């Protein structure tokens, strides 16, 4: 019984892998925000590239 108790105490106190979960949660939030503002981001990017294209010398 003591082995099981020690196992669960060690498991509970183990912080290995916690950073991975934090990074995954941050990425999930960023993806959700990107999906919510997809249309605005697309318009902004298109305007940015259009402005760059107009400022380039050439044809």
Question: Domain spans of the chain?
Answer: 2-55
pTM comes to 0.53
pLDDT of residue 17: 66
CA–CA distances in Å: residue 12 to residues 6, 15, 23, 48, 52: 10, 8, 20, 49, 54
Q: Identify the segments of the chain with pLDDT beneath 50.
A: none
pLDDT of residue 50: 92
């Amino acid at each position: 019984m003591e082995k099981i108790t020690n196992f669960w105490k060690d498991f509970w106190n183990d912080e290995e892998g916690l950073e991975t979960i934090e990074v995954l949660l941050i990425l999930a939030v960023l993806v959700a925000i990107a999906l919510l503002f997809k249309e605005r981001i697309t318009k902004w990017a298109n305007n940015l590239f259009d402005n760059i294209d107009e400022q380039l010398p050439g044809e």
